[in-house]
């Protein structure tokens, strides 16, 4: 861990921020889980499942985000992006009570259906928390997703590891701070909706701000229902 953090300091990064409305995301996730329960199934769909899937699809459309930097004999090389091998940051509590972070990889995430993505994600997380993953499960990530929002963090600029193009951080889903003290009825009356910050921290040697911004816009478009995103999720899970 220390070596990785020290190595990350050598990467000249920049970060793009985007605030997303999440009303539709919340609504469709609720519908998905209600449909799964009605079908007598035990699966549950989390916000991270849907966001991670949207990120994978968006990165598939914007391969610049999986571009990486490599020095060969002292000369800089830009390694073109391609398959989305998505690292998933998993918080793990050790037997002594201390906490650590492991990052297993969903390979070719952009080519998976949502059902395949969901099953792979769940299997990796279960094995990670049971300390049952082999070393190759952590190798080869071209980008990483971390979700500090689950702990209430509103936005984050995480460290980028060598060999990866970008790391995406998802913040907490909440009402804008200026309206946090209002009642639910007053919020509805004013039309105030919950939002979520997503950041893209990227290697600025090989990825430019415009590319990062276009990628985040694509993530937003999917989560707002573009390209039949949720219809494809329902179909993939056999709920239509």
According to the model, what pLDDT value does residue 28 have?
97
pLDDT, mean of residues 161-171: 95
Please give, one letter per residue, the 3-state secondary structure of the chain. CHHHHHHHCCCCEEEEEEEEECHHHHHHHHHHHHHHHHCCCCCCCCHHHHHHHHHHHHHHHCHHHHCEEEEECCEEEEECCCCCCEEECEEEECCCCCEEEECCEECCHHHCCHHHHHHHHHHHHHHHHCCCCCHHHHCCCCEEEECHHHHCCCCCCCCCCCCCCEEEEECCCECCHHHCCCCHHHHHHHCCCCEEEEEEEEECCCCCHHHHHHHHHHHHHHHCCHHHHHHHHHHHCCCC
Q: Return the SS3 of 77.
A: strand
Q: What is the pLDDT of residues 70-116, one digit of tens each?
A: 998 889 999 998 899 999 999 887 777 777 788 999 999 999 999 99
Q: What is the pLDDT of residue 133?
A: 86
- Measured CA to CA, the distance from residue 30 to residue 78 in angstroms comes to 42
Q: What is the pLDDT of residues 42-72, one digit of tens each?
A: 999 999 999 999 999 999 999 999 999 999 8
10-22 per-position pLDDT tens digit: 999 999 999 999 9
Residue whose tokens read 């209600």:
34
Query: What is d(CA 42, CA 40) in angstroms, rounded to the nearest whole number?
Result: 7
pLDDT score for 175: 86
Name the catalytic one among 27, 85, 174, 204: 204
> pLDDT averaged over the chain?
93
Q: Is the pLDDT of residue 1 over 90?
A: no
Name the band, by pLDDT with cuts 50, 70 and 90, for residue 4: confident
77 is catalytic: no
Contact 144, 134 (CB under 8 A): no
Q: Is the pLDDT of residue 145 over 90?
A: yes
In the block, which residue shows the tokens 């990785």?
A: 4
d(CA 40, CA 130): 27
Euclidean distance between the first and the last CA atom of the chain, given in angstroms as a whole number: 45
- Place 225 in a pLDDT band, splitting at 50, 70 and 90: very high
At residue 104, the pLDDT reads 95
With cut-offs at 50, 70 and 90, classify the pLDDT of residue 235. very high
Per DSSP, what are the bridge partners of residue 198?
18, 170
Flag whether pLDDT at 127 surpasses 80: yes
Q: Which of 95-104, 159-168, 210-219 has the lowest mean pLDDT?
A: 95-104
Give Cβ neighbours of residue 104 (< 8 Å, ≥ 6 apart): 87, 88, 90, 124, 125, 127, 128, 133, 137, 138
Would you say residue 205 has pLDDT above 90?
Answer: yes
């Amino acid at each position: 861990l220390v070596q990785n953090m020290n190595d990350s300091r050598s990467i000249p990064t920049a970060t793009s921020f985007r605030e997303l409305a999440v009303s539709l995301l919340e609504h469709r996730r609720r519908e998905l889980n209600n449909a799964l329960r009605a079908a007598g199934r035990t699966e549950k769909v989390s916000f991270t499942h849907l966001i991670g899937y949207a990120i994978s699809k968006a990165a598939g459309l914007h391969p610049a985000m999986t571009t990486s930097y490599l020095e060969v004999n002292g000369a800089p090389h830009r390694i073109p992006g391609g398959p989305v091998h998505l690292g998933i940051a998993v918080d793990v509590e050790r037997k002594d009570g201390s906490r650590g972070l492991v990052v297993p990889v969903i390979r070719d995430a952009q080519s998976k259906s949502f059902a395949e993505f969901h099953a792979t994600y769940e299997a990796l997380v279960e094995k990670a928390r049971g300390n049952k993953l082999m070393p190759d499960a952590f190798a080869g990530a071209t980008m990483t997703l971390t979700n500090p929002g689950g702990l209430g963090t509103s936005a984050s600029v995480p460290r980028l590891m060598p060999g990866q193009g970008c790391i995406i951080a998802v913040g907490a889903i909440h009402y804008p701070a200026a309206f946090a003290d209002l009642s639910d009825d007053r919020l509805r009356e004013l039309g105030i909706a919950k939002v979520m910050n997503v950041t893209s921290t990227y290697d600025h040697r090989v990825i430019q701000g415009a590319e990062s911004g276009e990628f985040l816009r694509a993530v937003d478009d999917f989560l707002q229902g573009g390209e039949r995103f949720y219809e494809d999720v329902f179909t993939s899970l056999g709920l239509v």
